[in-house]
Amino acid sequence: MSMVPTSNAFKDNATGALKDAPLQEALGIARAHSIETRRNTVAKLPEFEQLRDIGRDLKNHVIANLDTYLLQFEQSVIDRGGHVHWCPDGDSARAKVLEICRKVNAKTVTKGKTMIGEEIGINDFLFANGIEPVETDLGEYIIQLRGETPSHIIGPALHVTKAQVEETFRKAHSDLDPQRNLDDAATLMAEAREKLRAGFLKADVGITGANFLIADEGATTIVTNEGNGDLTQTLPRIHIVLASIEKVVPSLKDAMTLLRILARSATGQEQSVYTTFSSGPRRPTDLDGPEEFHVVLIDNGRSSYLGTEFEEMLRCIRCGACLDHCPVYHSVGGHAYGWVYSGPIGALLTPAIVGVENAKPLPHASSLCGRCEAVCPMRIPIPKMLRHWRETEFTRAITPPTERTGIRFWAFVARRPKLYRLATRIGARVLKSMAGSRGRLASVPLAGGWTKHRDLPAPQGKTFHELWKEEQGGRS
């Protein structure tokens, strides 16, 4: 029931994305916006780099004590009157959510933004079982109406232009006057606010994600700018939290470390507008709030990466900074990656969750330029880990035979310095003479993919090793 990945079609997806004019317009706006906003806000907090170190160490500590903190979290939730459900995979998580909804004969469910919800395809599943899921995050609402998936972790409708939003609203809100003016973004937002307000007030169940789980308080945390997550969890009779296991932190004080770097990394805000800690259902004398509080803890393959070269990806706090700084993401957007997560972190997580054989091109959809690691608040070494995926593909013979032969050949030569130097010396001279006086090559054998779109500047006749030797010789 969860979304079928089309990640193996990355090359075709990317080609399509490059020719998609509205997408390129939307990406252009995002590109111009995100890097500078983050940089300006980060510059105002001198301790930012130190907080990144502490955040990284905190997550490493949690990952090394995950069972302890999850058990503590479970007990604390029970102490506050809530329920915890342990779901190893998407199937069990979907079944649990449906069971809770069925118990109260839920007809509609409002939803705050949850990436783990996208991961397990909860919307399609509820819909197929006769329950209407209503996305309430403005971006999620727009893409739900358009039948799309998120193209960015925190800006799910980043790929949609304002003109497309207008078109979508005119089609979806057919009960409203077709002549109404929807020229500006504020009018569009006001219309969505009206529509969704009705949804909030009639929903039986509210489902949110969780940015953090606080072990000693039994509290879940959501961070939003719109307030939709709060209406989602305050108004219905039942609040269900979908959370993956690595979200747990020991205490509120530890959560403050992450809260001081999350918004700055994500949107370049000093702080997101709403950070909400929820623990248990409404107390007997409370005037509002849900009557039941359920936390669905989901593993979905994560624990199998503990104690492996991939475990550092479990530090991710889903801020989206790596997407915002990635030249590949900037060029092709999120949908080209073919599944729920996109950009550098998507290239890392998708093979882990859906299997590397279903996401073969993603570890290669990177020039390994390292911008992602440079901005990751949790200092996840994404380029290094993409290389681990490339190795895995090679050792598990997922890499195509011709490529494997090429890699083997290169490895053979690269491990023999004399042969390597000889080969590069010959290669450099041959390419130089092939290029002639133009100094550029329009086509090169075995490099057709590269030269199809641009010329290859030819070597000038000497290899780096030769030049270096001359340079050293000149000095001594």
Partner 1 sequence: MSTGTGRDRMLASIKAGISRQAERRHGAAGPAKPTPLIPARATAPGVDVVDLFRTMLIAAKATLDEVKSRDDVPAAVQKYLAANNAEARIRLSPDKRVSSIAWDKVPLLEISSGRSHGKDPTSVTPAVAVVAETGTVILQSSDQTPTTLHFLPDQHVVVVSKSQIVGTYEDALARVKRGPDGGLPRTVNFVTGPSRSADIGKILLMGAHGPKKLHVIVVDEEL
Q: How far is the CB of 5 from partner 1 (least distance, A)?
A: 23
Judge whether 232 and 136 are in contact, CB under 8 Å: yes
Q: Which is nearer to partner 1, 118 or 226 (CB)?
A: 226
* Residue indicated by tokens 């550029």: 440
Q: How far is the CB of 76 from partner 1 (least distance, A)?
A: 8
Q: Which residue of 120, 241, 245, 347 would you call a contact of partner 1, by CB under 8 A? A: 245
Cα 440 to its chain centre, rounded Å, is: 39
257 binds partner 1 (CB under 8 A): yes
Q: Which residue of 23, 210, 219, 322 would you call a contact of partner 1, by CB under 8 A? A: 219
226 binds partner 1 (CB under 8 A): yes
Q: Which residue of 5, 117, 156, 334 would you call a contact of partner 1, by CB under 8 A? A: 156
393 binds partner 1 (CB under 8 A): no
472 exposed, middle or buried (CB, 10 Å; 0-12, 13-18, 19+)?
Answer: exposed
Q: Which residue of 42, 153, 210, 259 would you call a contact of partner 1, by CB under 8 A? A: 259
189 binds partner 1 (CB under 8 A): yes
40 exposed, middle or buried (CB, 10 Å; 0-12, 13-18, 19+)?
Answer: exposed
Q: What is the C-alpha separation between 58 and 423, in angstroms, rounded?
A: 48
Among residues 172, 160, 189, 164, which one has the least CA distance to residue 134? 172
Instruction: Number of residues interacting with partner 1: please give it, by CB under 8 A.
Output: 105
**263-322 residues near partner 1, rule: CB under 8 A:** 267, 269-283, 285-289, 297, 299, 303-308, 311
92 binds partner 1 (CB under 8 A): yes
Q: What is the C-alpha separation between 1 and 11, in angstroms, rounded?
A: 25
Q: Which is nearer to partner 1, 289 or 355 (CB)?
A: 289
Q: Which is nearer to partner 1, 6 or 275 (CB)?
A: 275
How many residues comprise the chain? Answer: 476
For 373, other C-beta atoms within 10 Å of its C-beta total: 18
Q: Which is nearer to partner 1, 243 or 428 (CB)?
A: 243
Q: How far is the CB of 68 from partner 1 (least distance, A)?
A: 9
**Region label for 368, one of left (φ > 0), alpha (ψ between -120 and 50) or beta (otherwise):** left
* Residue indicated by tokens 């030819």: 458
87 binds partner 1 (CB under 8 A): yes
What x-and-dash track marks residues 15-54 binding partner 1 by CB under 8 A? -----------x--xx--x-----------xxx--xx-xx
For 464, other C-beta atoms within 10 Å of its C-beta total: 10
Q: How far is the CB of 382 from partner 1 (least distance, A)?
A: 20
Strands 205-208 and 238-244: parallel
**457-476 residues near partner 1, rule: CB under 8 A:** none
Strands 205-208 and 212-214: unpaired
Q: What is the C-alpha separation between 198 and 136, in angstroms, rounded?
A: 11
Q: Which is nearer to partner 1, 190 or 414 (CB)?
A: 190
Judge whether 143 and 157 are in contact, CB under 8 Å: yes
End-to-end CA distance of the chain: 69
Q: Which stretch binds partner 1 (CB under 8 A): 70-78, 120-128, 205-213, 364-372?
A: 70-78
Q: Which stretch binds partner 1 (CB under 8 A): 80-88, 125-133, 345-353, 440-448?
A: 80-88
